[in-house]
A and B are shown apart, each in its own frame.
Chain A
Amino acid sequence: MEQEKSAAQANAHKGVWIFAEQRHGQLISTAYELLNVGRRLASDLNAELSAVLIGHKVAEHAQALIEHGADRVFVHDHPMLENFLEEVYSRLLCELIQKAPPDKFLLPASILGRSVAARTAVEARTGLAADCTELSIRKDSGLLNAVRPAFGGNLLATILCENSRPEMATVRPMAFGRAQRVAGRQGEVVVVKVEPERFKTRTRFVQFVREDSGEQDIASCDKVVSGGRGLGASKGFDLIREFAHTLGAAVGASRATVDAGWIPYRHQVGLTGRTVRPKLYFACGISGQIQHLAGMSSSEVIVAINTDPEAPMMKLATFSIEGDLYEVVPAIIGELKHRRGDAVTHNSTNSN
């Protein structure tokens, strides 16, 4: 893009922003991950970190954002912002970008984040790197080095947005640790005036229908236990759920089981499903076809349980156990409970 305009632009654009997504009035865990990486980028640039909050009755979260590293919080609080509408949220973000132009802007690669970021980037006439897993500042230019997996994780691409500002990126949940809390940390809260009359909104929120019955979401849980066709039948997921519950993990699935109707689509991991990056991924009865790997191969530790020692997942895994999952999984659950039982008796002697 044109050089002259860009140089001037880059000078006027200051600081790092993160989008602090809230869901049902609560900050999502990725918001804290963004504060962590955003703080690091801001320090490298010797710049300020701001958080942008949109919702209804969310102002109370401003202090939490400041205590986790934000120097400033822009609060948009209005009843019409309670639920997510792409049009409305992107309008607000664009207007804020125009008023107080940032240099970098990170959003979560959540459903909301991925939708709103792409619209906002076009409206703000700037570039957006999708679903990044590594972010750093280039020493020479101060540009954002945005590294992201493409081709189902088979390629890592470094994306640069040289001449437009802000440089925007969505960030994969779990790609960064959470920011530490510093109690009593001070910052500025900027309440942005929201005037709904100005919006000619052509989308309407009707209602939200909960489907997860309080389960953890696969994308934002640090442990995922997935079941595959090796479960043999839909009731096999009872065992997977029990296992996940014991571990405090979310339940994932291969496409074969989703297509068979054993579990809803939101649990599907992989190319045509969702991407996860937990610390611990259990693949139970999953062969590990490339399309499944696309959704989980960046997990830190992978455990495979499979009757077939030659299955690709067994070769990829950090730890692999050859065996029938119906024998191995109950044995692991038993072992976990046993140890926890031990731990409880230990602790009880020196508890307060």
Chain B
Amino acid sequence: MPLNIVVCVKLTPSTANIEIDPATGSLRREKMSFAINPFDEYAVEEGVRLKERIPGSWVGALSLGAPDSEAALRESIARGVDEAFLISGPAFEGSDTFATGYALAMGIKKIAQIKGRVDLVICAKQTNDSDTGQVGPAVAAWLGWPGISFVKKVEEVSDKFLRLHRMMEDGYDVIEADLPAVIAVLKEINEPRLASLKGKMAAKKAAIPRWGAAELGVDESKIGRRGSPCAVAQQAAPPARPQGHRIQGGSPQEKAKQLVEKLQELKLI
């Protein structure tokens, strides 16, 4: 039986150009360029691959964010996703992972209404901006579905269950999960293909529905700043590292000797 899959994606700053205001310690968003979160490329690719593995399946992309998040959704379509949906609106601003998980779960429920059901949600391991890795498990918790994070391989998939490899510090666990389920995938899971010409055309043409708090029927006490248990009280640039020391000397042996002496002085070896 075909699967309905939803991939959660986010528009985040492109990593190379993070600008921090030295006075306030906060990000200069206006100075940065944005793209789909690099980790999401693997989630999108895995969704598209699973769709290809089970004929008749459908894969959608869902994002929560400012209106320009559409860019991440169009990128997902260019990479093979069938349809995309955006949750957006001032009420969602300031959402932490708790509130983000709730809003995305409500979006998934709405997609399930439209499509009949959703069997699988794929998140990336984390984003490159807030970098928490908490949204995948939070979505699973809000939906009340099994959740498995750090997934590095989908070994087997049917309409009833998944058999997964979950990375651990010293190897991997083989885990089976009944559907519907939420997984968070690692970079190791696949090699994303580039957007096809056909995909790019589809991305350009796609109409992306935008859902606000009212359309989603959310409990407003659970979204945005008000619904977020966590708040960022302060942001600062990390302390600068002390000036480094260039080990001088002629031969590699001399340099090695000096280095080892320094490390011994610091009781590191």
Contact = CB atoms under 8 A, between A and B. Distances in A.
Contacts of A90: 141
B118 to A, nearest CB: 16
Contact of B259 (A111, A209, A302, A319): A319
Q: Which of A115, A223, A290 has the most CB of B within 10 A?
A: A115
Interface string B7-39: 000000101101010000101000000000011
Interface residues of A, number: 97
Nearest to B134: A118
A163 interface: yes
B265 to A, nearest CB: 11
Contacts of A271: 15, 38, 128
A121 B129 CA distance: 21
A294 B131 CA distance: 11
A1 B226 contact: yes
B173 A83 contact: yes
B264 to A, nearest CB: 8
Interface string A299-325: 001110000010000111111111110
A204 B176 contact: yes
Contacts of B227: 1
A136 interface: no
A276 to B, nearest CB: 12
Given A115-B147, A149-B238, A265-B186, A208 B252 contact: no
Interface string A322-338: 11100110111011100
A33 interface: no
Contact of B171 (A122, A209, A265, A294): A209
A48 B263 CA distance: 39
Contacts of A193: none
Q: Which of B128, B147, B251 has the most CB of A within 10 A?
A: B147
B172 A209 contact: yes
A58 interface: no
Contacts of A324: 252
A266 B125 CA distance: 14
Interface stretch (A63-71, A123-131, A182-190): A123-131
B241 A318 contact: yes
A83 B168 CA distance: 12
Interface stretch (A12-20, A36-44, A210-218, A234-242): A210-218
A316 B163 CA distance: 43
A160 B269 contact: no
Nearest to B152: A265
A86 B168 contact: no
Given A155-B238, A265-B188, A202 B244 contact: no
Nearest to B230: A127
Interface in B211-269: 221, 226-238, 241-242, 244-247, 251-253, 255-257, 259-260, 262-264, 266, 268-269
B142 A155 contact: no
A77 interface: no
B245 A290 contact: no
Q: Which of B16, B101, B169, B174 has the most CB of A within 10 A?
A: B169
B244 A316 contact: yes
B96 interface: yes
Contacts of A126: 98, 229
A84 B98 CA distance: 23
Interface of A: 1-2, 23, 83-87, 90, 110-112, 114-119, 121-123, 125-131, 145, 149-164, 202-212, 217, 219-220, 223, 247, 265-266, 271-273, 279-280, 290-291, 294, 297-298, 301-303, 309, 314-324, 327-328, 330-332, 334-336, 339
21 contacts: A90-B141, A112-B168, A119-B140, A126-B98, A127-B96, A128-B97, A149-B131, A152-B128, A157-B232, A205-B173, A206-B174, A210-B171, A212-B169, A271-B15, A272-B38, A301-B268, A302-B241, A316-B241, A323-B252, A324-B252, A328-B255
Given A128-B229, A159-B232, 10 more contacts: A111-B167, A114-B149, A117-B137, A122-B102, A123-B141, A154-B238, A204-B175, A265-B167, A265-B188, A302-B241
